């Protein structure tokens, strides 16, 4: 199945394109504003790193011109990723 939410489908799309990728991974490439400005195969992963580093939706929009709706959905993925990293092996049932 694809998933009920954009975030789920987006993650699956990354995994289907490249079997070596675990989804929208913020740890693959470092933040680089120049890479964010140009549409390349690395830009989405640099965008993930930028979100993890605390870049705002407005700043990312200015750099990428990607619609803010999509940027917010990507931020949701990174926020959840950050939460999972903090919890480590102590995942509550609610997650």
User: Has residue 92 got a pLDDT over 80?
Assistant: no
For the segment(s) 6-84, the CATH number from 3.30.390.30, 1.10.357.10, 3.50.50.60, 1.10.1030.10 is 1.10.1030.10
Read off the pLDDT of each residue in 36-42 and give the average, rounded to a whole number.
94
Q: What percent of the chain has pLDDT over 70?
A: 97
**pTM, to two decimals:** 0.86
69: which residues sit within 8 A by CB, 6+ positions away?
none
- Predicted confidence (pLDDT) per residue in 60-88, tens digit: 999 999 999 999 999 999 999 898 888 88
When the pLDDT of each residue in the chain is averaged and rounded to a whole number, the result is 91
User: Has residue 38 got a pLDDT over 90?
Assistant: yes
- Predicted confidence (pLDDT) per residue in 2-21, tens digit: 678 999 999 888 888 888 88
Domain boundaries, the chain: 6-84
User: Has residue 90 got a pLDDT over 80?
Assistant: no
- CA nearest neighbour of 73 among 24, 40, 29: 24
């Amino acid at each position: 199945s694809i998933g009920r939410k954009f975030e789920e489908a987006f993650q699956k799309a990354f995994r289907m394109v490249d079997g070596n990728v675990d989804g929208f991974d913020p740890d693959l490439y470092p933040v680089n504003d120049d890479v964010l400005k140009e549409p390349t195969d690395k830009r989405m992963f640099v965008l993930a790193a930028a979100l993890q580093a605390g870049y705002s939706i407005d700043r990312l929009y200015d750099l990428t011109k990607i619609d803010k709706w999509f940027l917010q959905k990507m931020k949701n993925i990174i926020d959840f990723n950050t939460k999972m990293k903090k919890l480590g092996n102590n995942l509550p049932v609610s997650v």
